[in-house]
Amino acid sequence: MTQASKALAASTFLVLGFLAVYTPAKSGKPPKVDPKQSGAVMWRAPEDVASRSLFYGPGGKGHEPHGTFTFDKEDMSGTNPKFDIVDQDGVKWRVKMGQEAGPETVASRLVWSVGYFANEDYFMPVLHVQNMQRLRRGRNFVSADGTVHNVRLKRHLKDEKKVGTWSWANSPFTGTREWYGLRVLMAVMNNWDLKDINNSVYQTHDSPPEERYVVSDLGASFGTTGLNWMLKGDPAAYCSSKWIKNTSGEFVDFNVPSPPAMNYYIDFPEMARRLSLLWIGRHIPRTDARWMGDQLAKLSPAQIRDAFRAGGYSPADVERLSVVLERRISELKKL
Q: What is the pLDDT of residues 193-224, one digit of tens each?
A: 999 999 999 999 988 899 999 999 999 999 99
**How many CB atoms are closer than 10 A to CB 267?**
14
Domain assignment present for residue 103? The answer is yes
Domain count, the chain: 1
Is residue 329 within 8 A of residue 114, CB to CB? The reply is no
> Quick one: which of 110, 147, 140, 155 has its CA closest to 125?
147
Residue 28's pLDDT band, with cuts at 50, 70 and 90, is very low
- State pLDDT tens for residues 41-89: 999 999 899 999 999 999 999 999 999 999 999 999 888 999 999 999 9
CA 259, CA 275: separation in Å to the nearest integer?
A: 6
Is residue 289 within 8 A of residue 250, CB to CB? The reply is no
Domain assignment present for residue 249? The answer is yes
Domain assignment present for residue 6? The answer is no
Domain assignment present for residue 131? The answer is yes
Domain assignment present for residue 268? The answer is yes
Mean pLDDT value across residues 152-168: 96
CA 101, CA 105: separation in Å to the nearest integer?
A: 6
- State pLDDT tens for residues 244-299: 999 999 999 999 999 987 776 677 788 888 899 999 999 999 999 999 999 999 99
CA distances from 207 to 26, 126, 158, 160, 211 (A): 35, 40, 15, 12, 12
Q: Is the pLDDT of residue 37 over 80?
A: no
Q: Is the pLDDT of residue 31 over 90?
A: no
Domain holding 309, by residue range, is: 11-333
- The pTM assigned to this predicted structure is 0.90
Buried b (16+ CB within 10 A) or exposed e, 278-313: bbbbbbbbeebbbbbbebbeebeeebbbbbbbbbbb
Domain assignment present for residue 3? The answer is no
Q: Is the pLDDT of residue 17 over 80?
A: no
Q: Dump the DSSP string for 197-208.
A: GGEEEEEESSSS
Residues forming a β-bridge with 252: 247, 284
Domain assignment present for residue 4? The answer is no
Residue 16's pLDDT band, with cuts at 50, 70 and 90, is very low
Domain assignment present for residue 289? The answer is yes
